[in-house]
Amino acid sequence: MPTARELTHDAQLGLALRAGDAGADRPISWVHSSELDDPTPFLSGGELLLITGIALPADDEGRAAYVGRLAAAGLSGLGFGIQLGHDTIPESLLAAAEAAALPVLEVPHRTPFIEIGKTVSQSLADDRSAEARRFETARTALTTAAMHGEDLGGVIGRLAVDLACWAMLLEPDGTVAHAQPADAAERVGDLAPDLDRLRTVRPPSSIGLSACGDHVAAHSLGGASTLAGFLVVGRARPFCPTDHHITHAASSLLSIALTRTRSAADVRLRTTALKLLLTGHRTAFDELAGPLGLRLPAPPVVVLAGSGHSSTLVDSTGSPDLLTGQLDGRLIAVASAAQQLPSARHLGVSAPIGWDGLPGAYRQATQALAEATRRGAAVVRFDDLGVGLLRDVADEEVVGRAEAVLRPLDEHDAQQRGELVRSLRAWIAHHGHWDPAAAELGIHRHTLRYRMSKVAALLDCDLDSPDVRAQLWLAIRLVS
């Protein structure tokens, strides 16, 4: 913002500072003209008031009272136009203004008041543009530091430079994660009560305070349900609005980064725990589950396989006992067999089992999911697949034989990017009917006929034989 002193440097205006040098550096927020004996009800503070003095009290006491009212209203200056009501500015007014540290500018007759208003208005506009550019530059630098830095210390360092302040990133318990400069960490103890206040409010939130002789702003970081830490900045002089905007931008970046990092880490740990449980390593799971706060539902349990994210299942059931993770591109969960099934586009559900049966239940759930996806069904239970006999014979040796039967097709598909196995499955599922099988595959029936002739050639078999079809169907189901 412009000041009374800066306006005297404009030669075109020709203003002279006649009193109140001590207050000449106060910022001017606007220009107003009024000849009222008491214009203060119409002022908000920070203005430069322009008068000609035509209604100025004639006595020294009245003039002193007039200046006192202006000073009490927080004006940043008084512009007095001479050679209109007065040839010079009355000495009693200058004396009162000097005592009140109210800057008085002498305005020559040649300078219209409107020119002063235009100059101040343009200066304010230039300041706003400069502050907007400063904010964008700082925001870009902070974003770059957050995206490309090895850790969030780069954001704290950048913020300290942009605001010429000290800055700290604190853990949720108040431990210093990053401080710039390093000795800023010594202030943490004095901030403890204020951090406690922030902890009572859902993040993100902020408070302004005075601590260690500095003006301080403290921001809680994170989302509505999780406190991820604190950002604290401080310096001897007050922060301006642009400083606060920059600090808010930094707190938003830090909140996103911290929430994303901790959410990703939590997902990885939960997935690791789930893998241990599904592969039969119960002891190792228990060691990891405690620190993560994981709780297992009481058996019997089911394994769920679906599409989406673990938060989708948790949100749709509201159960804290739903153990979820991402395995092999699928959403996998272990839940109580009595629990309401969560929402998912496609969901496969294993048979109810005890803890010892989890590895097999995992395979059941993925098979049920594959069938749900094929059918376009929302939920498919393994017990409804009608494959009880397959479960009984599907040991490793039998599955290995089934894989050997289909290996020529798998190798062809891998080398030629073909879909012989998928086409064979659809054709047998539709009892050898070409049109519905081709429709399911999204191909022409002649293309399907060609693929089946290729299958017959690779396997050296007669697909018209019911025995051959039964054996191939069994092999496909065992492998899947």
Spell out the per-residue pLDDT of the chain, length 480, in tens. Answer: 899 999 999 999 999 999 999 999 999 999 999 999 999 999 999 999 999 999 899 999 999 999 999 999 999 999 999 998 899 999 999 999 999 999 999 999 999 999 999 999 999 999 999 999 999 998 888 888 887 755 788 899 999 999 999 999 998 888 899 999 999 998 888 888 888 888 888 887 888 888 778 899 999 988 766 788 899 999 999 999 999 999 999 998 888 888 766 666 666 777 777 888 888 777 777 777 766 667 777 788 888 988 755 444 444 444 445 677 777 778 888 888 877 776 667 888 988 888 778 888 888 888 888 888 888 888 888 877 754 445 555 556 677 788 888 999 998 988 887 899 999 999 998 889 999 899 888 999 999 999 999 999 999 999 989 888 988 988 888 776
The pLDDT value given to residue 254: 87
Contact (Cβ atoms closer than 8 angstroms) between residue 331 and residue 307: yes
- For the domain spanning 4-111, the CATH number is 3.40.1390.20
The pLDDT value given to residue 150: 57
What is the rounded CA–CA span in Å between residue 451 and residue 389? 30
Examine residue 57 and say whether the peptide bond preceding it is cis (omega within 30 degrees of 0): no
Close Cβ partners of 103 (under 8 Å, ≥ 6 residues apart):
4, 5, 17, 19, 20, 21, 23, 24, 26, 76, 77, 78, 97
Superfamily of domain 128-262: GAF domain (3.30.450.40)
The pLDDT value given to residue 166: 94
The pLDDT value given to residue 281: 76
The pLDDT value given to residue 151: 72
The pLDDT value given to residue 247: 92
The pLDDT value given to residue 393: 53
The pLDDT value given to residue 352: 87
Q: Could you write out the three-class secondary structure of the chain?
A: CCEHHHHCCCCCCCCEEEECHHHCCCECCEEEECCCCCCHHHCCCCEEEEECCCCCCCCHHHHHHHHHHHHHCCCCEEEEECCCCCCCCCHHHHHHHHHCCCCEEEECCCCCHHHHHHHHHHHHHHHHHHHHHHHHHHHHHHHHHHHHCCCCHHHHHHHHHHHCCEEEEECCCCCEEEEECHHHHHHHHHHHHHHHHHHCCCCCEEEEEEECCEEEEEEEEECCCCEEEEEEEEECCCCCHHHHHHHHHHHHHHHHHHHHHHHHHHHHHHHHHHHHHHCCCHHHHHHHHHHHCCCCCCCCEEEEEECCCHHHHHHHHCCCCCEEEEECCEEEEEEECCCCCCCCCCEEECCCECHHHHHHHHHHHHHHHHHHHHHCCCEEEHHHCCCHHHHHHCCHHHHHHHHHHHHHHHHHHHHHCCCHHHHHHHHHHCCCCHHHHHHHHCCCHHHHHHHHHHHHHHHCCCCCCHHHHHHHHHHHHHHC
- CA distance from start to end of the chain: 74
The pLDDT value given to residue 332: 86
Domain boundaries, the chain: 4-111, 128-262, 295-385, 392-479
Contact (Cβ atoms closer than 8 angstroms) between residue 27 and residue 59: no
Contact (Cβ atoms closer than 8 angstroms) between residue 408 and residue 459: yes
The pLDDT value given to residue 72: 96
The pLDDT value given to residue 449: 93
The pLDDT value given to residue 292: 62
